[in-house]
Amino acid sequence: MGTLTRSGDELAGGALAGTLRVGGVDAVALEARAARLAGRSIKRESKDAGLELAVRCIDLTTLEGADTPGKVRAMCMRALRPDPEDASVPPVAAVCVYPSMVTHAAAHLDGTGVRVASVAGAFPSGQADLDQRLEEIRGAVADGADEIDIVINRGALLSGRLDIVHDEVAAAKRACGDAHLKTILETGELGSYDAIRLASMVAMAAGSDVIKTSTGKLPVAATPPTALCMAEAIRDYHRHTGRVVGLKLAGGIRTSKQALGYLAIVAETLGVHWLHPERLRFGASTLLNDVVLQMRFRRTGRYPRPGDLPVD
């Protein structure tokens, strides 16, 4: 498999059968459309369904230097039973941890249907030798990770070296084996929607199963226009190649209202088939409690006390 090359607006090579037109992004229209979709009012029944779906799509995440096996265990318990008072609240999609915590998470989640996701590849900067990054991926998979989150080489992308970006992601995909690869674009560092769209296309062409907005380690993370831009890239890539790529929105998504707005953006752009944990994820930690509180409110008609839920 050759590397990816770009001439003008078109990408070619890699796993692409023909050429892939990238095109530019109308930033003003994108932001206006994202704001309109995210701000749309949602009817009560749809909101209930949306909250339930949001829980099922969450990658419950802890990526702190202070993580311990105990904390990961507590988080796994929350992942399996988000609302201690209500068993009808479904488990989340996955638990996302650092590679050193994968064995601990896997021990609690094995056989439950909740996946173990691990960041790898010198997260969050990606600034390490490729060999080292690939070794970290292989280690996490061997420890039991079902999904691997890596960052792209932003430096290479911004200096126009799409081939480097592509080859590194493709190598990561091979290192993953059967595990799903989620590729983080770190949109906050890319500077423009054009760059986000280009990065999305390169990451998808290199074989990513999911493209993801951010590491959550930057102040600028997932925003509605970014989500829309990436969703449109996924839609266009799907039309062109027929391959289904998922979307993961991460960083700064803390409230149910935000999550419902993103669901509207995805539904309107990619269709209802993408409203499924196999194709859509929210990388979050505080979001889960907010959704659970909203569901409690919908069930009881009383505003709940945030302090009643466990925090991580």
Partner 1 sequence: MSERVEVAKTYKLFIGGAFPRSESGRTHPVRDRRDRLVAHVAWASRKDLRDAVRAARAAQAAWAGRTAYNRAQIVYRIAEVLEGRRDQFEAELRVGGMTSRAARANLDAAIDGSVYWAGFADKLEQLAGGVNPVAGPFLNVSQTIPLGVCGLACPDDGGVSGMLGLVCPALAAGNAVVAVAGGRSALVSSTLGEVLATSDVPAGVANVLTGDHAALLGWLVDHADVDMVDLTGAPADSRADLEARTAENLTRWAATGGAEHLGTIMEFRDVRTVWHPARIL
Catalytic residue among 209, 212, 236, 290: 212
Q: Least distance to partner 1 from the beta carbon of 304, Å?
A: 5
Residue 26 is among the residues annotated as catalytic for this protein = no
Comparison of 9 and 86: residue with beta carbon closer to partner 1: 86
Q: Least distance to partner 1 from the beta carbon of 41, Å?
A: 13
By the rule CB under 8 A, 307 interacts with partner 1: yes
Per CB under 8 A, contacts with partner 1 among 159-198 are none
Q: Least distance to partner 1 from the beta carbon of 44, Å?
A: 15
Q: Least distance to partner 1 from the beta carbon of 86, Å?
A: 15
By the rule CB under 8 A, 70 interacts with partner 1: no
Catalytic residue among 149, 167, 209, 290: 149
Residue 212 is among the residues annotated as catalytic for this protein = yes
Among 112, 273, 308, 310, binds partner 1 (CB under 8 A): 308
**Within the chain, how many helices (H) and strands (E) appear?**
11, 11
Phi, psi of 129 (to 5 degrees): -60, 145
Q: Least distance to partner 1 from the beta carbon of 50, Å?
A: 18
The angle formed by the CA atoms of residues 149, 154 and 156, to the nearest 5 degrees, is 125
Q: Least distance to partner 1 from the beta carbon of 307, Å?
A: 7
Comparison of 111 and 301: residue with beta carbon closer to partner 1: 301
Catalytic residue among 59, 173, 209, 248: 248
Comparison of 44 and 302: residue with beta carbon closer to partner 1: 302
Structure token digits, residue 157: 């992308």
**Of 217, 203, 189, residue with least CA distance to 246:** 203
* CA 166/CA 156 separation, integer angstroms: 10
Comparison of 65 and 301: residue with beta carbon closer to partner 1: 301
By the rule CB under 8 A, 39 interacts with partner 1: no
Residue 173 is among the residues annotated as catalytic for this protein = no
Contacts from 72-77 at CB under 8 Å and sequence distance 24+?
72/97, 72/101, 72/104, 72/105, 72/108, 73/104, 73/108, 74/310, 74/312, 75/105, 75/312, 76/105, 76/108, 76/109, 76/114, 77/108
- Strands in 10-13's sheet, in edge-to-edge order, are 4-7, 10-13, 19-21
CB 224 within 8 A of CB 213: no
Structure token digits, residue 180: 């799903």
Q: How many residues touch partner 1 (CB under 8 A)?
A: 8
Q: Which residues contact 155 (CB under 8 A, 6 or more apart)?
A: none
Comparison of 257 and 276: residue with beta carbon closer to partner 1: 257
Per CB under 8 A, contacts with partner 1 among 267-306 are 301-306
Q: Which residues of 7-29 are buried (b: 16+ CB within 10 A; e: fewer)?
A: eeeebebbbbeebbebeebeeee
Residues with active-site annotation: 149, 212, 248
Residues near partner 1 (CB under 8 A): 301-308
